[in-house]
Amino acid sequence: MNLKILTFNWHEPYICLMAHTGYDFDIIEPETGPGRRRQWDWNMRPLPKNGCIVTEEEARRNLEDGHYTLVVAHNMRDLAWARDYDLPKIAVFHNKFSTEAGLSGNSVDKKEYFRFVEELTRDVHCVFISQSKRDDWGLEGDIIRPGLPLDEYGGYDGSGGFILRVANNLKERDLMLGYTASSQIVEGFDCVTLGQNPQIPGSRLSRGFDDLCDHYRRGRVFLNTTVDGYEDGYNLSMLEAMATGMPVVSTSNATSPIENGVNGYISSDIAILRRGVEELLRDADKARDLGQQARETVARLFPIGRFVKNWKQAVQTAIDQFLVRHEAMEEGGGEGFPELPEKLNILMDTNGNPVTTAHYLERALRKQHDVVTCGSAFTDEHRRNWNMGALDWPANQPEIGREPNQSIQSVLQKLPADWRPNLYLYVETGLNATPADLHTLQVPKVCYLIDTHLNKDQHLKIAGHFDIVFLAQREYVDDFKKAGISHVAWLPLACDPEIHGKQNLGKEHDVGFVGSILPNLPRRKQLLDKLREHFDIHIDRQFMEKMAEIFSRSRLVFNNAVRDDLNMRVFEALCSGSLLVTDEAKGSGLTDLFENGKHLVIYRDDSIVNTVRHYLDNPEEAERIAEAGRQEVLARHTYDHRVQTLLEHVREWMKAPATQQMETVSQDNGISDYYRNVRRDLLHLMPLEARSVLEVGCGAGHTGRAIKERQGAFVVGVEVNPIAAKEACRQLDRVVEGSIEHMELPFDEKQFDCILFADVLEHLVDPAQVLRKLLPYLGENGVVVASIPNIQYHGILNQLGEGNWTYEDEGILDRTHLRFFTLKEIRKLFAETGYEVQVVEENLDPQYEKFASSGQTSIRTGRVTISDLTPEELKQFFVIQYKIVAHLVRKNNAAHIHKQEGREKKADQLQKAPELERNGEFEKALNEVCS
């Protein structure tokens, strides 16, 4: 987005951080008094390349001519200056009101001043640099904490051996900066103070950014004394020191990132802080160790990527709100675009190579939509360079030629007179560059990027030009979101059954492989060489039906990922009907789409020979898995399916109000990370065919967003926390705020294919009532997926043995848990409410393996010993959490359930009998067995 922003020079370091957004900034040097202006201080920072100093007169002319997209103000004076100009505005709040009032001697009439602030900020989007600032002002707005580019800092050595303070007007602003405490701490030590501090002897301005960084590198310890209640426990100079690798000594502050003894020292006791300073001045190695942790703290809590993403979001929000107020954007209009018709005119940017995802998508799209292709030609030179001499398919050349340096407007001029696109789809092929004037195309712009594992940086640049981005490689979705790409989703590759389908041919090879064996892929070559020593293996480089023929003639098809990608071969081999033997490619999503041993076989490098031999020796098992895999891809993973998912995403995006089309604005908006956890461990339990999902207790919506990315489902959330629910609105298709136990449900009967309770049931007063309440809203073949803590866990028994039942902030005895379950009680809960538990998975304590392998039949935890346990009973004491899938009980299942309950009752009786016998109660034991 090529935006031009007008701002004011009150804070050079902060403007330089904002410049990382890539937007162009005109910067006014504001008037500070008659004939005086606050000029850009080159001693603080050089002017960023995308920054330009302008006079007030130039800025006013540009505003009147409509040259600016947005104004960013840093105080009320800036807002008053820009008040009469009709364009989006953002106000940044760098300080607390209470601090500003205190520094002025509390001479401000708060009521009158807030009336003035309310008037100025009407229709202005507010940004606060911390939670405490927003709380103090009591206004609505985003929280965007600072972020630092670590690559601009570093090289700490502490060789100067001095304490460093960096601040302007340190003594004059004692109320917020703690000069009094600072003076007491540094007394008698070598201390350097940088900044405009006329009342501090020896203090000076830095002689430029290089000089400032040199002090960060040479200083031994940074001193921070910002006063709790008046200022945050950090400022930009402290974070810069930490980013360099400098440890910090700090007075206590509730919002400080300093952990005592980890990345510095923090205390409210001046004597303790002086001892910390003295230790670090004496021990350079200690200072370096703490400083390294300080640098890692900045990387974790104050990343530049999140700062940039949140600022881009704030800018977009300000623009959206402005347009909504001016009725330029109708609710549900998808960035002002007209509603898409059922049959689309799609302008597809591709090239003529038929062995690409673009070609397969084009074939699928043409079945239901009108497609015109544009792009560069696929030539004989490309065939030679890409070692594609065996390809005998004709090139599928674009209908309208567009070389990389040609514009999209030149393409529009060549379209048929009566044909105009509703949608622009760019699919990466390796030859097609995005047109420079793409922003002039007034239709939704969608791209599908394939090889992000090889071209991540290039793809990040490409993605910024599109409204919706799809990635074939799931692992990189979060990276794109962190980089500020507002709407990005995972869309795996697929197969084309007409090309890759099963050919009824005799099996001629033990193992088949079609692909490249290059010097940069040594692992692939080593594995193939190992297989070649033991089996008849056919290796070739073929394409289209000839590739499928080799797969069909092979008993097993070998696959090996490059940088853990989920490649085309996975889907194409499965479609051929031969057994796919592949590596897991961790993080790729392979195991979310397919089940090892059911649809395909996952090998480990060290045992691949044994794995292949097993399935060659057991052809019936191999054929059963291969056929299940083929049926799975035909049912869910063809390019017809991908086209359907892609267009559903686009239509949903079009329906959403513009303010809900973007990602989360801030990661520091008053809720803990607990609400943002993504429960990827539950995703594989959810049916891929589930098109409508209800998540009860959706938090901030991040798990629901992962569900949408995985399978393109429509996800509805219910959340009782209003702040989390507000954030979830930006992630999910719909969010209902309130308690699931008390609300009237605004859903249609049988609306949902899946209902998710991720660690929720134990928080409810009456979980059974909620399960019954949701029965009518689950489809006939729908499932409930739930994760529930296990109160039978041995650690709880240990506490009970000591007479304790101590609640904690998290875990099995989370202080907010109201109900507690064992596996037996979980089954009972679902059985009594109309469901049948069909799948149970365990989250096991790692100690279980040791116990299981020892053959023990008893467990001793503290003073508690439990004996005569079967292996399954023993295991239940090591389960931390159960994950279950439950189906509705159907009428014809009633007898089965009754029979199952009978079995469980009998099992209980058989377990009681030995104990009765040991106690000499032979008659009772006999009755238990025989009853």
Per-residue pLDDT, averaged over 743-772, amounts to: 94
Per-residue pLDDT, averaged over 837-856, amounts to: 80
pLDDT of residue 568: 94
What is the distance between the alpha carbons of residues 421 and 443, in angstroms, rounded to a whole number? Answer: 7
**One domain, residues 469 and 351:** yes
Kindly state whether residue 148 falls inside one of the protein's structural domains.
no
- 498-526 per-position pLDDT tens digit: 999 999 999 999 999 998 887 767 889 99
Residue 336, exposed/middle/buried by CB under 10 A (0-12, 13-18, 19+)?
Answer: exposed
Give whichever of 120-124, 390-394, 760-764 has the largest mean pLDDT.
760-764
What is the distance between the alpha carbons of residues 89 and 40, in angstroms, rounded to a whole number? Answer: 22
- 451-462 per-position pLDDT tens digit: 998 888 888 888
Region class of 771: left (phi > 0), else alpha (psi between -120 and 50), else beta: alpha
Per-residue pLDDT, averaged over 694-703, amounts to: 93
Residue 504 C-beta-side C-alpha neighbours within 13 Å: 0
Per-residue pLDDT, averaged over 895-909, amounts to: 47
pLDDT of residue 518: 73
Per-residue pLDDT, averaged over 801-811, amounts to: 78
> 393 forms bridges with which residues in the sheet?
none
Per-residue pLDDT, averaged over 640-646, amounts to: 94
Contact of 578 with 555, CB cutoff 8 Å: yes
The CATH number assigned to the domain holding 232 equals 3.40.50.2000
**One domain, residues 604 and 719:** no
Kindly state whether residue 581 falls inside one of the protein's structural domains.
yes
Residue 315, exposed/middle/buried by CB under 10 A (0-12, 13-18, 19+)?
Answer: buried
pLDDT above 70: residue 897:
no
Domain boundary among 615, 636, 657: 636
Q: Which helix (H) or strand (E) holds 928?
A: helix 922-930
With CA atoms as reference, report the closest residue to 231 among 77, 94, 76, 92. Answer: 94
Q: 809 pLDDT band (50/70/90 cuts)?
A: low
Which phi and psi (to 5°) does residue 927 adopt?
A: -65, -40
Contact of 169 with 283, CB cutoff 8 Å: no
Q: 657 pLDDT band (50/70/90 cuts)?
A: very low
Per-residue pLDDT, averaged over 482-486, amounts to: 76
Kindly state whether residue 723 falls inside one of the protein's structural domains.
yes
pLDDT above 50: residue 669:
no
**One domain, residues 627 and 678:** no
Q: 164 pLDDT band (50/70/90 cuts)?
A: very high
Contact of 447 with 428, CB cutoff 8 Å: yes
pLDDT of residue 711: 83
Contact of 246 with 82, CB cutoff 8 Å: no
Contact of 511 with 538, CB cutoff 8 Å: yes
User: What is the CA 13 to chain-centroid distance, rounded?
Assistant: 28
- 235-278 per-position pLDDT tens digit: 999 999 999 999 999 999 999 999 999 999 999 999 999 999 99
pLDDT above 70: residue 621:
yes
pLDDT of residue 431: 67
Q: 922 pLDDT band (50/70/90 cuts)?
A: very low
> 784 forms bridges with which residues in the sheet?
755, 886
Per-residue pLDDT, averaged over 63-68, amounts to: 88
- 170-199 per-position pLDDT tens digit: 999 898 899 999 999 999 999 999 998 999
Altogether, the residues listed in the chain come to a count of 931
Per-residue pLDDT, averaged over 698-702, amounts to: 91
Give the chain's radius of gyration (CA, Å): 32
**One domain, residues 606 and 712:** no
Per-residue pLDDT, averaged over 475-492, amounts to: 86
What is the distance between the alpha carbons of residues 754 and 701, in angstroms, rounded to a whole number? Answer: 16
pLDDT above 80: residue 670:
no
What is the distance between the alpha carbons of residues 372 and 680, in angstroms, rounded to a whole number? Answer: 39
Contact of 517 with 539, CB cutoff 8 Å: yes
Strand order in the sheet with 554-559: 537-540, 509-514, 554-559, 579-582, 601-602
- 695 vs 390 pLDDT, higher one: 695
Per-residue pLDDT, averaged over 783-803, amounts to: 88
**One domain, residues 818 and 908:** no
Residue 220, exposed/middle/buried by CB under 10 A (0-12, 13-18, 19+)?
Answer: buried
Q: Which helix (H) or strand (E) holds 287?
A: helix 284-301
Residue 823 C-beta-side C-alpha neighbours within 13 Å: 22
**Within 10 A of 149 (CB to CB), how many other CB atoms are there?**
15
pLDDT above 80: residue 918:
no
What is the distance between the alpha carbons of residues 327 and 796, in angstroms, rounded to a whole number? Answer: 59
pLDDT of residue 99: 80
Question: Angle at CA 648, nearest 5°, toward 645 and 652?
Answer: 140
Domain boundary among 143, 172, 204: 143
- 569-618 per-position pLDDT tens digit: 999 999 999 999 999 998 899 998 999 999 999 999 999 999 999 999 99
Contact of 427 with 348, CB cutoff 8 Å: yes
pLDDT above 70: residue 708:
yes
First to last CA, the chain: 77
Q: Give the tokens for residue 242.
A: 């930490």
Kindly state whether residue 657 falls inside one of the protein's structural domains.
no
Contact of 251 with 225, CB cutoff 8 Å: yes
Contact of 352 with 395, CB cutoff 8 Å: yes
Q: 416 pLDDT band (50/70/90 cuts)?
A: confident
Residues of the domain holding 274: 163-298
The CATH number assigned to the domain holding 43 equals 3.40.50
Kindly state whether residue 453 falls inside one of the protein's structural domains.
yes
pLDDT above 60: residue 328:
no
**One domain, residues 211 and 129:** no
- 765 vs 116 pLDDT, higher one: 765
**One domain, residues 749 and 628:** no
**One domain, residues 459 and 521:** no
**Within 10 A of 27 (CB to CB), how many other CB atoms are there?**
22
Per-residue pLDDT, averaged over 819-830, amounts to: 95
Kindly state whether residue 546 falls inside one of the protein's structural domains.
yes
pLDDT of residue 906: 47
Helices 608-617 and 619-636: crossing angle, nearest 10°? 100
Q: What is the pTM of this model?
A: 0.44
Domain boundary among 636, 656, 689: 636
Kindly state whether residue 642 falls inside one of the protein's structural domains.
no
Contact of 312 with 484, CB cutoff 8 Å: yes
Contact of 83 with 26, CB cutoff 8 Å: no
Number of domains in the chain: 6
pLDDT of residue 98: 83
**One domain, residues 905 and 883:** no
The CATH number assigned to the domain holding 456 equals 3.40.50.11720
Average pLDDT, the chain: 86
Residue type (1 letter), 134: R
What is the distance between the alpha carbons of residues 364 and 643, in angstroms, rounded to a whole number? Answer: 7
Give percent of the chain above pLDDT 90.
Answer: 55
**One domain, residues 46 and 130:** yes
In this structure, what DSSP letter does residue 913 have? H
**One domain, residues 445 and 541:** no
pLDDT above 50: residue 396:
yes
Contact of 698 with 719, CB cutoff 8 Å: yes
Contact of 514 with 547, CB cutoff 8 Å: yes
Q: 924 pLDDT band (50/70/90 cuts)?
A: low
Question: Angle at CA 493, nearest 5°, toward 492 and 498?
Answer: 140
What is the distance between the alpha carbons of residues 471 and 357, in angstroms, rounded to a whole number? Answer: 12
With CA atoms as reference, report the closest residue to 276 among 220, 236, 216, 212. Answer: 220
What is the distance between the alpha carbons of residues 22 and 47, in angstroms, rounded to a whole number? Answer: 14
Residue type (1 letter), 278: E
Helices 608-617 and 522-532: crossing angle, nearest 10°? 40
pLDDT of residue 910: 46
With CA atoms as reference, report the closest residue to 355 among 516, 580, 463. Answer: 516
What is the distance between the alpha carbons of residues 721 and 609, in angstroms, rounded to a whole number? Answer: 53
pLDDT above 50: residue 664:
no
User: Which CB contacts under 8 angstroms, 24+ apart, belong to 81-84?
Assistant: 81/8, 81/30, 82/6, 83/120
Residue type (1 letter), 859: I
The CATH number assigned to the domain holding 744 equals 3.40.50.150
What is the distance between the alpha carbons of residues 12 and 96, in angstroms, rounded to a whole number? Answer: 19
What is the distance between the alpha carbons of residues 876 and 878, in angstroms, rounded to a whole number? Answer: 5
Question: Angle at CA 658, nearest 5°, toward 656 and 664?
Answer: 95
**Within 10 A of 479 (CB to CB), how many other CB atoms are there?**
16
Contact of 217 with 156, CB cutoff 8 Å: yes
**One domain, residues 537 and 444:** no
Kindly state whether residue 667 falls inside one of the protein's structural domains.
no
What is the distance between the alpha carbons of residues 477 and 488, in angstroms, rounded to a whole number? Answer: 7
